[in-house]
């Protein structure tokens, strides 16, 4: 179980500037990652994506940087807002508000 505050990027295409305000230990929630995520990857506690593919950018980044990832959560960027506290259960692939 991973608990923490989330940082949500709702836009499909985003830039490094969209990561302003990301704080150490936050959970990143996005449709998919872009190369810009490497700017904050050391601060990321976990990644949650809407995309579900072992070859997507988020999966590769998570593997290379040893970050937990929950993929394939439908419309997760619409369900949550930055600053909310959540708990992520990787075993049963759920994310809930705390």
The answer to whether residue 6 is catalytic is no
Query: Other CB atoms closer than 10 Å to residue 39's CB: what's the count?
Result: 11
Cα distance between residue 49 and residue 52, in whole Å = 7
The residue annotated as part of the active site, out of 57, 68, 79, 84, is 57
DSSP classification of residue 10: -
Could you give the residue ranges of the DSSP H alpha helices within 16-83? Answer: 57-65, 76-79
Active-site positions read: 57
């Amino acid at each position: 179980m991973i608990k923490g505050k989330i940082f949500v990027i709702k836009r499909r295409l985003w830039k490094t500037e969209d990561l302003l305000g990301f704080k150490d230990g936050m959970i990143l929630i996005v449709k998919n990652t872009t190369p810009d995520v490497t700017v904050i990857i050391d601060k990321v506690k976990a990644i949650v994506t809407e995309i579900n593919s072992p070859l997507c950018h988020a999966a590769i980044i998570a593997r290379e940087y040893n970050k937990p990832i929950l993929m394939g959560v439908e419309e997760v960027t619409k369900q949550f807002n930055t600053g909310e506290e959540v708990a992520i259960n990787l075993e049963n692939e759920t994310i809930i508000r705390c």
